[in-house]
Structure 1
Amino acid sequence: MIETAIQANDHTQLLLQQPLTEQQQQIITADALVFIERLVERFADRVPLLLEAREQQQLAIDRGQLPDFLPDTRAIREAEWKIQNIPHDLQDRRVEITGPVDRKMVINALNANVKVFMADFEDSFSPSWNAIIDGHQNLRDAVNGTISYTHPQTGKHYQLDDDPAVLICRVRGLHLLEKNILWNGEPIPGALVDFALYFYLNHQALLAKGSGPYFYLPKLQAYREAAWWSDVFSFTEDEFGLTRGTIKATVLIETLPAAFEMDEILFNLKEHIVGLNCGRWDYIFSYIKTLRNFPERILPDRQVVTMEKPFLNAYSRLLVRTCHRRGALAMGGMAAFIPAKDPQQQAWVLNKIQTDKALEANNGHDGTWVAHPGLADTARAIFDDVLDQRINQLNVSREQDAPITAAELLAPCGGERTEAGMRHNIRVAVQYIEAWISGNGCVPIYGLMEDAATAEIARASIWQWIKHGKTLSNGQVVTKALFAQMLTEEMQVLQQELGQERIENGRFEEATYLMSHLATSDELDNFLTLKGYDYLV
């Protein structure tokens, strides 16, 4: 039991809230706990200050001060400098697949026709305690080449191919706590747990085979948060006697404030960073959340908010230009589609993928994301064609472009708000919330692989439409009463779609309550996962 793990070091102040099985103690070892504690002692107390800085920035925006490039860091933006280096196995990232860390998914993703698998403890993951430990065991086994899985019903066996994709671990955002480990009686940052376990369990094996401990960092809003991560990485390298810059990271630019600090984020992580990524779905959500008090900047139905929209295309081009000027890779965003069985629908999906990925490749991105192995070939063909004999597009500088302005990044987005779109948002958000609080963070719904980011758009859009009394295309004004009526009606639709047994055996009553709160509260909740975490076992 857990006492065995903790008593191996009498000085630890960490307290685990759950007992560990003998197998789990192979992951949550005494030495791993000591490393977690050393990180917590040095870095955890800075996290609330970083989160408070976010709140203060949002208060200023709510009062009318639109985001802009920082005058205090102009010298960083105007100076000539480069990031340290990009390891050999990260220089070609033309297609990456993302997904949660369950065992079958890890094997299938590493075997897909992609260059990188981003193993996710964040938006496509529901962080129950057992799932976190299982996930780290799965990644350890994958790194060691020992991972396999046999389906209990079909008997189908899964194992790694000879040349799997490069593995990158996405840790939780700074806003998420880990309630199952306490330090001085308080939950610790989930990001430090994820980072510490993946690094501690795998860095030696990764380095031995010519790779390294690589990470995706989500939800950053400011360069000071990047500086915090740089300190964490440098401390870890010193602790384990590693060369500075051994740990490498890619930062997701998936918040609107971060889009104005790309240079500064690269600069503050320049020894450790290899690139930035257009985390488009969270970015759309952040656009809503950040500009929630500006009625002229309310988004239409989420289905029409595509990368062709001026504010998103500007963000894509700015990221490419910024990254390539600094010698960093510029990764494109997620295609959330999944393959369809109907040939006509599948043709539509493939056309959407081709259009989306062609835009990214022609903008100069070095690679892109897919959510399903069945779409990797389509995305790869686009980038293979554009790259030709190159392994990336670092030579595409976009220096001849006119500078991207704050006005372009904040440009209002045209498009209709429809009754069908609002009802779709309700059904998607309720189903996703129900899955998440039940332990599943990655859910196929109506032909898309939904994760927390896409569900965030669905619920935040409705909140903003209610707040500003916006009108749908049929003339209906969006009110709390209209939402409540639609929520009741759409739950009846879900009962027909999913069946009474599924509704009764699931957690739809709690999910409906959460959705109602998230859409109608006086203040917009920062993240639905913060509310959902209280319901998670």
Structure 2
Amino acid sequence: MPSIIIRDNLQTIYSDIYTPEALAALSALAPLNKRIKTVMAERMERRADRQVHQKRIAFLDPESVIPGTSLRVQDARDGNFEGSVIPADLQRQWIQGTGPAAKPNAPLESSIRNVAYALLSGADGWMFDGEDALGQITTMSLDNQRNLKLAIHKDPVFLNVAGQVAQEINRWSVSFLGREVVTDWEAQLNFTTKIFRARGLHLDDRHIRDAEGTALAASIVDATLYVVNNVQALQKAGSSVVLYLPKIQTAGEAAVWNELLTALENHLGLKTGTIKVYVLVEQLEATHQLMEIRAALGQHFVGYNTGRWDYINSVSDALAWDKTFVNPNIEAITMTYGYMRNYEDRVRRAVNTPDRNGNFALWQGGMEPNIPVGSEAGVSASMQKAVAGAEREQREGASGKWVAHWKMVHIVRPVWEKAGQSNQLGRAFPRLTYTPADADGLMLIEPAPTDIRGARNLLSVALQYGNAFGQGMQAAALKPADFFGNDDILYLMEDMATGEIRLSILWEWLHKGAVLTEDDPTTGAKAGAIFSYALYEQLLDEEYAKLLKADTKDVYESSKTTTLPIALEIANVYVLSEVKPPWFIDLLNINLNNLDLAVARQRIRLYMDELTKNRIRITENLDFVASTSG
């Protein structure tokens, strides 16, 4: 009996990815699937318990042991654990770009251009995304792996495309920066550190199930396929094998990741700690356990990344029961806002606490979503804002930053070039404390606007994002419909995280009765009024109508009768539900490759019934058909 089941005939079509070595590794790691499913069920139980008993997340008992390890919590906090020496190619990561390595419904030569732009961008590292920014329609996760393998192995197909892309980058850079940024494109390909973001423990792979027919955790699949297919080529080139790990909520979950990575290393005969990982701090619970997570990952851990969107969503979700916790307009929740400011401070203090061998860790700053395309005034204002944000993070102690588009690399990177330091490892900050005031600070709401314009932004971009997702674009350049045609307002690169938070905030406003802070002439709503169901429905109708009228530059005409109505249905069910769904992506995932609104409604109802009655998320591919070839 096979230990894994691959759907349809994908094992043949993607034999370059599902190699005998990769299949053997997947089979070896498949038993971890039960452990991951158990940990995810425990996550849902903790979430439900907080809602029912109206409990805030608390710090761990210092005398307890981190689940899945023999580490005492207090030892982790004291740095009494073995961490990792930072490899040479991660010592300087001033700018890391992020984005997928594949495009939806595109031939190889077009799809792989994503990788060429990334590796010729001048970024110190590029996080090729298998999660929030990678579309999952059809076989995009496998196309992503294929493109990375071809690029890392410098296949002629990739090199031919890279030569063309180098010329395109230089044409843009001469027009925008006044100079060429790629002088020797073949040498430039060696400059950028290749990094891969695997999908989180909460997501399932769409193409593989274990021997019992249970969807295999996407984390197992992503990490295994990337490492097995590329470790030898990376090591031959003197490069580290580096992953980003998303959506970790607890140190116990980090220990599961550590078990997975160690098992993969053992299977491949690699030294423990060969695979290096950054952890995206995207969850409120994780911010209560930073040193514990770092200790649980041990020799694999190299650093943390801070960012806005997923983290905002997690705080909103953890406090869904708390009527006093209501987020303001999304633009107001910057990294200097209330709970965000305290979150960032804890991260920088956690990385610069040494382990028992004196090793510090890296802090990579958050995402710059701007794209320098628009009117001269709009681009100038947005680029000034982007540079100012980078300067702030550098001052605060970040060793580098993320950008969402290759054109931003040479605009933001000079901030760190000017500072001149490879990194800020070991910069002195106070050690973390674990007081009630610290916990309160991680949930601190400060006065800021909550208005109709903000609600329109939330609705418009959430609907557009759901629509883009259904078309295979999990990363898309979007802006509110009121600004279509206004080149002074730039498009921002939006990914799954920004969709999540928009619906999360709308859910808060509706179910907690957000108080509007401004008069609004378009609706007649007055400052002091409650954000009501009637107001929500009016705005939803109006914003949806704008999208139906938009030209194809902003909303593809074909989507208006296919993926856009499904996006509307999902958004409306999410926002109106008394029980807050844990993830927007769940409702989107179960409708991938489906263009039938009636089918979508059935699937959404099935998901919500399972969630409300049984506390179970449906995460499998509902269209899975096992391969007839075995």
In structure 2, how many angstroms separate the alpha carbons of the residues matched to 1:205 and 1:87? Answer: 17
8 Å contact kept, 1:82–1:325: no
Deviations 1:314-348 (A, max 9, x none): 21121111101131101111111111321111111
In structure 2, how many angstroms separate the alpha carbons of the residues matched to 1:262 and 1:408? Answer: 15
In structure 2, how many angstroms separate the alpha carbons of the residues matched to 1:154 and 1:372? Answer: 15
Which residue type is aligned with residue 392 of structure 1? N
Among 122, 128, 139, the alignment partner of 1:113 is 122
Deviations 1:233-260 (A, max 9, x none): 1111111111111111111111111001
8 Å contact kept, 1:150–1:157: no
Q: In the superposition, relative to structure 1, how do residues 355 and 295 fare at CA in structure 2: closer, same or farther (>3 Å)?
A: farther
1:480 aligns with 2:533: yes
Where do 5+ consecutive residues of structure 2 fail to align?
A: 65-72, 103-111, 170-184, 355-359, 480-490, 520-525, 594-630
1:270 aligns with 2:298: yes
Q: Which residue of 1 is the match for residue 94 of structure 2?
A: 94
| Structure 2 SS opposite 1:405 | helix
Q: Which residue of 1 is the match for residue 414 of structure 2?
A: 381
8 Å contact kept, 1:149–1:157: no
Which residue type is aligned with residue 182 of structure 1? R
| Structure 1 SS opposite 2:208 | strand
Q: In the superposition, relative to structure 1, how do residues 308 and 422 fare at CA in structure 2: closer, same or farther (>3 Å)?
A: same
Where do 5+ consecutive residues of structure 1 fail to align?
A: 1-10
In structure 2, how many angstroms separate the alpha carbons of the residues matched to 1:529 and 1:400? Answer: 36
Q: Which residue of 1 is the match for residue 48 of structure 2?
A: 59
Q: Which residue of 1 is the match for residue 511 of structure 2?
A: 467
Q: Which residue of 2 is the match for residue 168 of structure 1?
A: 195
Structure 1 residue 81: deviation in Å? 4.5
8 Å contact kept, 1:92–1:391: yes
8 Å contact kept, 1:98–1:119: yes
Q: Which residue of 1 is the match for residue 205 of structure 2?
A: 178
8 Å contact kept, 1:121–1:132: yes
Structure 1 residue 14: deviation in Å? 1.8
Among 395, 401, 423, the alignment partner of 2:426 is 395
Q: Which residue of 1 is the match for residue 276 of structure 2?
A: 248
Structure 1 residue 186: deviation in Å? 1.5
In structure 1, how many angstroms separate the alpha carbons of the residues matched to 2:320 and 2:427? Answer: 35
1:344 aligns with 2:377: yes
Structure 1 residue 227: deviation in Å? 0.6
Structure 1 residue 18: deviation in Å? 2.2
Percent identity between the aligned chains? 27
Q: In the superposition, relative to structure 1, how do residues 452 and 74 fare at CA in structure 2: closer, same or farther (>3 Å)?
A: same
| Structure 1 SS opposite 2:465 | helix
8 Å contact kept, 1:316–1:363: no
Q: Which residue of 1 is the match for residue 585 of structure 2?
A: 529
In structure 2, how many angstroms separate the alpha carbons of the residues matched to 1:461 and 1:413? Answer: 15
Structure 1 residue 79: deviation in Å? 4.5
When structure 1 is superposed on structure 2, of 493-502 and 454-463 the one drifting more is 493-502
In structure 1, how many angstroms separate the alpha carbons of the residues matched to 2:350 and 2:571? Answer: 38
Structure 1 residue 424: deviation in Å? 1.2
Structure 1 residue 438: deviation in Å? 1.7
Deviations 1:399-428 (A, max 9, x none): 389888112112113211110111111110
1:125 aligns with 2:134: yes
1:32 aligns with 2:22: yes
Which residue type is aligned with residue 500 of structure 2? E
In structure 2, how many angstroms separate the alpha carbons of the residues matched to 1:313 and 1:247? Answer: 31
Among 36, 50, 66, the alignment partner of 1:47 is 36
In structure 2, how many angstroms separate the alpha carbons of the residues matched to 1:51 and 1:402? Answer: 28
Which residue type is aligned with residue 538 of structure 2? Q
Q: In the superposition, relative to structure 1, how do residues 523 and 426 fare at CA in structure 2: closer, same or farther (>3 Å)?
A: same
Dislocated runs of 4+, deviation >6 Å: 153-159, 400-404
Show the 5 A alignment for 1:157-306: 161-183=188-210, 184-306=212-334
Which residue type is aligned with residue 474 of structure 2? G
In structure 1, how many angstroms separate the alpha carbons of the residues matched to 2:36 and 2:301? Answer: 20
8 Å contact kept, 2:28–2:267: no
Structure 1 residue 66: deviation in Å? 1.6
Deviations 1:336-371 (A, max 9, x none): 111132111111111211221112111111111010
8 Å contact kept, 2:11–2:18: no
Which residue type is aligned with residue 346 of structure 2? L
Structure 1 residue 491: deviation in Å? 1.2
8 Å contact kept, 1:12–1:34: no
Deviations 1:145-176 (A, max 9, x none): 2224659x999889764434101110111111
8 Å contact kept, 1:335–1:370: yes
Deviations 1:231-290 (A, max 9, x none): 111111111111111111111111111001010011011111101111321001111111
Show the 5 A alignment for 1:295-444: 295-326=323-354, 327-386=360-419, 388=420, 390-399=421-430, 405-444=438-477
Structure 1 residue 181: deviation in Å? 1.2
Q: In the superposition, relative to structure 1, how do residues 272 and 351 fare at CA in structure 2: closer, same or farther (>3 Å)?
A: same
Which residue type is aligned with residue 516 of structure 1? N
In structure 2, how many angstroms separate the alpha carbons of the residues matched to 1:372 and 1:415? Answer: 29
In structure 1, how many angstroms separate the alpha carbons of the residues matched to 2:353 and 2:560? Answer: 55
8 Å contact kept, 2:308–2:334: no
8 Å contact kept, 1:291–1:297: yes
TM (norm. structure 2) is: 0.79
1:491 aligns with 2:544: yes
Q: In the superposition, relative to structure 1, how do residues 180 and 401 fare at CA in structure 2: closer, same or farther (>3 Å)?
A: closer
Q: In the superposition, relative to structure 1, how do residues 84 and 532 fare at CA in structure 2: closer, same or farther (>3 Å)?
A: same
TM (norm. structure 1) is: 0.92
In structure 2, how many angstroms separate the alpha carbons of the residues matched to 1:508 and 1:53? Answer: 34
In structure 1, how many angstroms separate the alpha carbons of the residues matched to 2:548 and 2:343? Answer: 40
8 Å contact kept, 2:17–2:146: yes
Q: Which residue of 2 is the match for residue 516 of structure 1?
A: 572
8 Å contact kept, 1:215–1:250: yes
8 Å contact kept, 1:245–1:271: yes
8 Å contact kept, 1:465–1:478: yes
Structure 1 residue 219: deviation in Å? 0.2
Which residue type is aligned with residue 172 of structure 1? R
| Structure 2 SS opposite 1:128 | coil
Deviations 1:161-205 (A, max 9, x none): 443410111011111112321221121111111111101100111
In structure 2, how many angstroms separate the alpha carbons of the residues matched to 1:536 and 1:104? Answer: 24
When structure 1 is superposed on structure 2, of 364-373 and 76-85 the one drifting more is 76-85
When structure 1 is superposed on structure 2, of 452-461 and 141-150 the one drifting more is 141-150
| Structure 1 SS opposite 2:304 | strand
In structure 1, how many angstroms separate the alpha carbons of the residues matched to 2:432 and 2:2? Answer: 55
Q: Which residue of 2 is the match for residue 8 of structure 1?
A: none
8 Å contact kept, 2:116–2:161: no
When structure 1 is superposed on structure 2, of 54-63 and 163-172 the one drifting more is 54-63
In structure 2, how many angstroms separate the alpha carbons of the residues matched to 1:108 and 1:247? Answer: 25
Q: Which residue of 2 is the match for residue 5 of structure 1?
A: none
| Structure 2 SS opposite 1:167 | strand
Which residue type is aligned with residue 285 of structure 1? N
Aligned length: 523
In structure 2, how many angstroms separate the alpha carbons of the residues matched to 1:157 and 1:16? Answer: 39
Which residue type is aligned with residue 216 of structure 1? Y
Which residue type is aligned with residue 99 of structure 1? G
8 Å contact kept, 2:75–2:81: no
When structure 1 is superposed on structure 2, of 474-483 and 302-311 the one drifting more is 474-483
Q: In the superposition, relative to structure 1, how do residues 465 and 201 fare at CA in structure 2: closer, same or farther (>3 Å)?
A: same
Structure 1 residue 89: deviation in Å? 0.5
